[in-house]
Structure 1
Amino acid sequence: MPDLMAQIGDQLTQLQERQLLRRRRTVEGPQGPILNVGDKPYLAFCSNDYLGLANHPALIAAAHAGLDAYGVGAGASALISGHTRAVEDLETALAEFVGAPRALHFSTGYMANLGIIPALAGPGDTIFSDRLNHACLIDGARLSGAQFRIYPHADVARLEYLLKKNASPRKLVISDAVFSMDGDIAPLQELLALCEKYDAWLLVDDAHGFGVLGPQGRGSLAHFGLASPRILYMGTLGKAAGVYGAFVAGDASLIEWLLQRARTYIFTTASPPLLATTLLASLELVRTEEWRRQHLRQLIERLRAGLASLSWPVLPSQTPIQALVVQDNRLALDLMEGLHKQGIWVPAIRPPTVPKKTARLRISLSAAHTAEQIDRLIDGLHTLAKHYG
């Protein structure tokens, strides 16, 4: 044990020396454009609360109503006694919202992908994954025992080459819809065309597109007008929806199979039903309040225009995720600290979360931000650029 602890201590020191050690900040109060850390308020561009719903009065009221109706805990797994009417209604509403025959609710997006992928593919099968996919897709693929083939980011030509020469009985293409560190959108039309051509399934992780993209916020598939029984659609409910949880939607038989075989659904205690009642209220706001997405698009354009003259590039993105790539880990931390001193919170993202030499500031915008707050961030970065640029 002493040797193990010494090794871990050395590894932590190495992380610190490479500017890769992570740390948490304790936040007081609700999510919003202003976050309180201790007794100091920060203008925050670090949250995935893209529509500004996490502290909405209608959601708070719905949570209270769910608390009164169901109490706090679900008591057991969904297949024992934890599947409530609230969750049943939520699954029905989510399936209708994204235009799928059926949906299944999961506790988190990570748990969803860890359950979905091994239920669909196993030894002898092949999974094809975009190089920049989120960790939960990668971990789900590794857990499955299937052959795991990685294609370069958004490279449909390379994916076709891999699919064409593959003879596995079952092939599964997995991809983020909106890539969480770059903010770009996957070529979903081309991915689906290849899956149809080479008899493969397509799992789309729309964690960062659900609620933001498509008519009424119905997601990335709706953004492209795509529908197919080959697609399994996973959306998360703790980002634009402002609450917690995730779901997968698709062909009714596929969803039934996941209910029977997804271990992260079967063997975990069901989520508190009060979250489902809250999500039903959230879904209505996502559907009806188009002004939130319109305002968000305006803020994105304002930010990109304001940062265009910096020596550091902002990656192409039409989503609330805007990545200012500075390459060097130390510089990313210095810029984060420089903004911190100005009362602005933007996280520095470093390897291994992103590829080597692509350290960045990951700026997340929300419909709750104002144009004046965007301008404050722009001014703050230009001030730092005079020193570091």
Structure 2
Amino acid sequence: MNFLKKELENIKNKGQYRELTYLKGSQNKYCSFEDKKVLLMASNNYLGLCDDERIKKVSKDAIDNYGVGSGGSRLTTGSYDIHKKLEEEIAILKNREAALLFNTGYMANIGVITSICNKEWIIFSDEFNHASIIDGCRLSGAKIVVYKHSDMKDLKQKVKLYKGAKRIIITDGVFSMDGDIAKLPDIIKISKDNDIWVMVDDAHATGILGEKGSGTEEYFGLKGQVDIQVGTFSKALASEGGYVAGSYELIEYLKNKARSFIYSTALSPIVVSAALKALYIIKKDNNLRKNLLNNSKWFQEELKERGFCILESETPIIPLLVGDEDKAMKFSKMLFEEGIFIPAIRPPSVPKDTSRLRITLMATHIKEDLNFVLDKISYVFKKLK
């Protein structure tokens, strides 16, 4: 086992050693980490629904109705009527014929990519795609062609270079570390001009982008243009699990071929109930989403006014660039001491020399909270110099 110790030492020497920070209580704007109450500015709980009383109530009711575990895989004893209902509702939100639940977004990406693609396929993958997409591509055995991040000229050139009957472009809808949105209109045009499938992972867009919160396709007015839509319930929808939405044939195919679906115990009815209620809430209430995005725009402008270098986005994800890994870690630690939790993101999660504080806003944050954060960021930054 000496090689494990040696490898851990190497990770520490590179400044890339990771440790868990434990939270007490509910996922809300104020949380207790390590017995210290802090303002949480890093959660994927974008709409603040993780502690919503309406969702907690249906989750408690689900325990009374279904118990706590699902008892088996979906193809044996684990399929419940509530699984079917959530699949029907996510298909409606995504304007698709059908949908299929997976235990995580990671498993959804792994399942769909490895089920469809093999060595006969060519995958065009954005260089900043999520690790679950990257791993799915590698496991599929397909020829992987990585194009520069959101560089449509590079994508076009590589599409011309790599011909084949079985080709697919895979991209995140919203990129989790940069907060930017994929250039979906251009991607769709390239796909149509060259008879290529398109798959979009809308994990950070579902519930956030579009008039009804449907995601990037709705945001760009491209209804029905994406062949395969993947996403999660663990961000704006305040629960757990992933999904794939598409044609009836696609979903039936995945039921029979996706190993991460077939060989996994089904999601607990409790978390499915929570996701279903969250879905109903976002369908009926646009105000949470609109206020969140308005606050995000305002917060970015304030950061720029104060001289900070940020990657501008149209989402609640706001990367404050620091560059140096050690400085980013120190910045995060000092903010924690001031009562704000914003983790530092370092390589290999982001490219070298682009370490950052990944700020994310929640709908429950108010201007008083955000002004407090702005003042503390400015204060700590001065102390760092």
Structure 2, unmatched stretches of 5+, are none
Distance 2:225 2:345 in 1: 36
Q: Which amino acid aligns with 2:54?
A: A
TM-score relative to the length of structure 2 = 0.97
Among 325, 339, 350, which residue is 1:329 paired with?
325
| C-alpha contact (below 8 Å) 1:242/1:282 kept by paired residues | yes
Distance 1:142 1:310 in 2: 43
* 1:292 equivalenced with 2:288 (yes/no): yes
Distance 1:330 1:277 in 2: 42
User: Which residue is 1:95 aligned to?
Assistant: 91
User: Which residue is 2:254 aligned to?
Assistant: 258
Distance 2:14 2:34 in 1: 28
Among 269, 274, 281, which residue is 1:273 paired with?
269
* 1:155 equivalenced with 2:151 (yes/no): yes
Among 117, 120, 129, which residue is 1:124 paired with?
120
| C-alpha contact (below 8 Å) 2:188/2:225 kept by paired residues | no
Change (3 A) 1:140 1:32: same
User: Which residue is 2:185 aligned to?
Assistant: 189
Among 139, 146, 151, which residue is 1:143 paired with?
139
User: Which residue is 1:214 aligned to?
Assistant: 210
Among 27, 31, 34, which residue is 1:35 paired with?
31
Distance 1:303 1:347 in 2: 18
Distance 2:209 2:186 in 1: 18
State the secondary structure of the residue aligned to 1:149: strand
User: Which residue is 1:227 aligned to?
Assistant: 223
Query: Deviations 1:185-233 (Å, cap 9, x if unpaired)?
Result: 0001111111111111111000000000001211111111113365201
* 1:379 equivalenced with 2:375 (yes/no): yes
TM-score relative to the length of structure 1 = 0.96
Distance 2:78 2:209 in 1: 32
Post-superposition, which runs of at least 4 consecutive aligned residues in structure 1 deviate over 4 A? Answer: none
Query: Deviations 1:13-41 (Å, cap 9, x if unpaired)?
Result: 22222221111111110000011123220
| C-alpha contact (below 8 Å) 2:217/2:226 kept by paired residues | no
Query: Deviations 1:71-106 (Å, cap 9, x if unpaired)?
Result: 111111101121110000110111111111111111
What pairs up with 1:14-33 in 2 under 5 angstroms? Answer: 14-33=10-29
User: Which residue is 2:339 aligned to?
Assistant: 343
Distance 2:303 2:72 in 1: 50
Q: Which amino acid aligns with 1:175?
A: T
State the shift of 1:311 in Å. 4.7
State the shift of 1:385 in Å. 2.0
Distance 2:130 2:186 in 1: 20
State the secondary structure of the residue aligned to 1:82: coil
How many residues are matched?
Answer: 385
What pairs up with 1:80-91 in 2 under 5 angstroms? Answer: 80-91=76-87
Distance 1:71 1:145 in 2: 40
Query: Deviations 1:281-301 (Å, cap 9, x if unpaired)?
Result: 111111112111122122212
State the shift of 1:268 in Å. 0.7
Distance 2:110 2:185 in 1: 25
| C-alpha contact (below 8 Å) 1:326/1:359 kept by paired residues | yes
Among 52, 57, 62, which residue is 2:53 paired with?
57
- Give the aligned CA root-mean-square deviation in angstroms: 1.2
Structure 1, unmatched stretches of 5+, are none
User: Which residue is 1:107 aligned to?
Assistant: 103
| C-alpha contact (below 8 Å) 1:66/1:273 kept by paired residues | yes
* 1:48 equivalenced with 2:44 (yes/no): yes
Q: Which amino acid aligns with 1:241?
A: L
State the secondary structure of the residue aligned to 2:49: coil
State the shift of 1:262 in Å. 0.8
User: Which residue is 1:12 aligned to?
Assistant: 8
| C-alpha contact (below 8 Å) 1:302/1:374 kept by paired residues | no
* 1:198 equivalenced with 2:206 (yes/no): no
User: Which residue is 1:363 aligned to?
Assistant: 359
State the secondary structure of the residue aligned to 2:144: strand
Query: Deviations 1:224-255 (Å, cap 9, x if unpaired)?
Result: 11133652011210100011111111111111
| C-alpha contact (below 8 Å) 1:200/1:230 kept by paired residues | no
